Amino acid sequence: MVQTIRIPISVEWKEDHIKLLNQQNLPHHTDYINLTTIEDVYDAIVTLKVRGAPAIGIAAAYGLAMSAQKYDFETLEQFKLKVNTEKSYLASSRPTAVNLFWALNRLEKSLENVRSINEAKTTLLHEAFQIQAEDEEMCRQIGENALTLLHPGDSVMTICNAGSIATAKYGTALAPFHLAREKGKQFHVYVCETRPVLQGARLTAWELQQSGVETTLITDNMAAHTMKTKGIKAVIVGADRIAANGDTANKIGTFGLALIAKALNIPFYVAAPSTSFDLTINTGDEITIEERSPMEVLQIVNTTIAPENTNVYNPAFDVTPNHLITAIITEKGILYPDYVEQIRENMCDKYISL
C-alpha cells in the first residue's frame, strides 16, 4: 500500500505568477515568495532562492512564459524577438546546469509553428507546465530505477540537495528514499553538509526529515572516515550537466566523494534525468564551472569566519570523470560504462540542441 508522506514542492504556477519556496531561508523559515517579473525570476536563480538543475529549468520556463503573457506587440515576429532576448537574459543567471538552457530552448522551439500572438502566449505556458509535469514523472522513474540498485535498510551517502525541492518532485538522488517511504520502507542517509552554502545541512536534512527518512548529518571532511566505518553501501548524487562521455558536473565535493568511493570499493551512482545530458560536449572539460562570491566561503550563514581580506577560491561545481562512476541512473534505465555508446543510444530523443 502507498503511504502518504510529505514531500515538499519548490515551484508552483499560480494563475499569473510563480509561487516559490525560498530555499535561502530553509530550514528555519518555510516561507513562500511570489515572483511576478522576469527580474524576480533571474534574481531568485542567482541568489539560490531556487536551485538544483531541474528546478532552475522549471522556474526559468515559467518565468519566460509569465513575462510573455504581458507582451504587447503588433506582430508575432516582434513577440518572438522579445522571447529570444528574455531567454538570453534568464540563461545568463547561472552557467553550469544544462537544464536551464534546455528548458529555455524548448520554450522558444515550441513557438516554431504558432500563428498568432495569443496562441504563442498559451503555447509558452503550456510548455512550461509540460516541463514540470514531465520532470516529476522522470524523477519518480529515476527513483524506481535506483531502487533496483539500492536496498532498503542500507546506509547510503549523498551530497548537496538533489531532492524534491531541486526538481518538480521526488528529486533524483533522493527519489529512491522518498519512494521507499511511500512503500513503507526505510534507508539511512548520511548527508554531507556541503560547504560553502550548506545545501546538505540546510536543505537535504530538512527535506528528508519531512518525509520521514532517517538521516545523519556529517561535515564534508568526515566523508572518507564515515564511508569506511559506517557500512556505507553506496554513494548517490545528482548532476548539473553530463557530457556525451558520462563525465558529470555536480556540486563541489562530488568528485572527492567519487575518489573516496573508488578507493573503498563502494559503488558511486549519478542519478539524473535525460534533460541533464549535454550532447554538444564530448567531455566534462568543456563544462563551464560557476565561480561564486568569496563571501560564501568567508562566511557561514552570515557569520564571518576568516579575515575579510583572505584570498578565496569558490568553484560551485566540480566534474567527476566517467571512470569513477559505477552507473548513471536515468528515467529511461540504468547506464553502465562504456558511457559513450550508452548515452548516444539512449539519450538522444529528449535532446534539444543548445
Ligand X SMILES: CSC[C@@H](O)[C@@H](O)C(=O)COP(=O)(O)O
Q: DSSP secondary-structure letter at 337?
A: S
How distant, in Å, are the alpha carbons of 242, 257, 264, 349 from that of 335? 12, 20, 22, 16
Q: Which of 316, 324, 343, 347 binds ligand X (CB under 6 A)?
A: 316
What the block records as the C-alpha cell of 109 is: 522551439
Q: Is 247 in the site for ligand X (CB under 6 A)?
A: no
Contact between residue 142 and residue 329 where contact means Cβ atoms under 8 Å apart: yes
Q: Is 145 in the site for ligand X (CB under 6 A)?
A: no
Q: Known binding site: residues?
A: 51-53, 94, 199, 250-251
- Which stretches within the chain are classed as H helix? 38-46, 53-69, 76-91, 98-109, 117-146, 175-182, 205-210, 223-229, 254-263, 295-298, 339-346
- By beta-carbon proximity to ligand X, the closer residue of 63 and 124 is 63
Write down the least CB distance from residue 94 to ligand X, Å: 7
Site size toward ligand X (CB under 6 A) is 18
Write down the least CB distance from residue 314 to ligand X, Å: 11
Alpha-carbon distance of 254 to 258, in angstroms, equals 6
Q: Which of 26, 38, 41, 53 binds ligand X (CB under 6 A)?
A: 53
Q: Is 274 in the site for ligand X (CB under 6 A)?
A: no
The torsion defined by the Cα of 208, 213, 219 and 222, in degrees rounded to 10, comes to -150
Write down the least CB distance from residue 96 to ligand X, Å: 8
How distant, in Å, are the alpha carbons of 269, 321, 346, 354 from that of 187? 16, 27, 30, 38
**What is the sign, positive or negative, of the torsion defined by CA atoms of 24, 28, 30, 31?**
negative
Q: Is 251 in the site for ligand X (CB under 6 A)?
A: yes
Write down the least CB distance from residue 74 to ligand X, Å: 39
Q: Is 10 in the site for ligand X (CB under 6 A)?
A: no
Of 16, 135, 154, 240, the catalytic one is 240
- By beta-carbon proximity to ligand X, the closer residue of 61 and 239 is 239
Tell me which stretch binds ligand X (CB under 6 A): 32-40, 46-54, 68-76, 278-286.
46-54
Q: Is 171 in the site for ligand X (CB under 6 A)?
A: yes
Q: Is 63 in the site for ligand X (CB under 6 A)?
A: no
Q: Which long-range contacts (CB under 8 A, 24 or more apart) does 126-132 make?
A: 127/61, 127/65, 128/13, 128/58, 128/61, 128/62, 128/64, 128/65, 128/103, 129/13, 131/57, 131/58, 131/61, 131/103, 131/106, 132/11, 132/13, 132/58, 132/61, 132/62, 132/168
Q: Is 169 in the site for ligand X (CB under 6 A)?
A: no
- By beta-carbon proximity to ligand X, the closer residue of 162 and 218 is 162
Alpha-carbon distance of 177 to 186, in angstroms, equals 7
Q: Give yes or no: 240 in active site.
A: yes
Write down the least CB distance from residue 305 to ligand X, Å: 20
Q: Is 167 in the site for ligand X (CB under 6 A)?
A: yes
Write down the least CB distance from residue 289 to ligand X, Å: 11
Quick check: bond before 27 cis, omega within 30?
Answer: yes
Taking residues 79 to 98 in sequence order and writing x for each that binds ligand X by CB under 6 A, - otherwise, the string is ------------------x-
Q: Which of 10, 38, 40, 51 binds ligand X (CB under 6 A)?
A: 51
Q: Is 143 in the site for ligand X (CB under 6 A)?
A: no
Provide the binding-site residues for ligand X, judged by CB under 6 A.
51-54, 97, 160, 162, 166-167, 171-172, 199, 238-240, 250-251, 316
The catalytic site residues sit at: 240
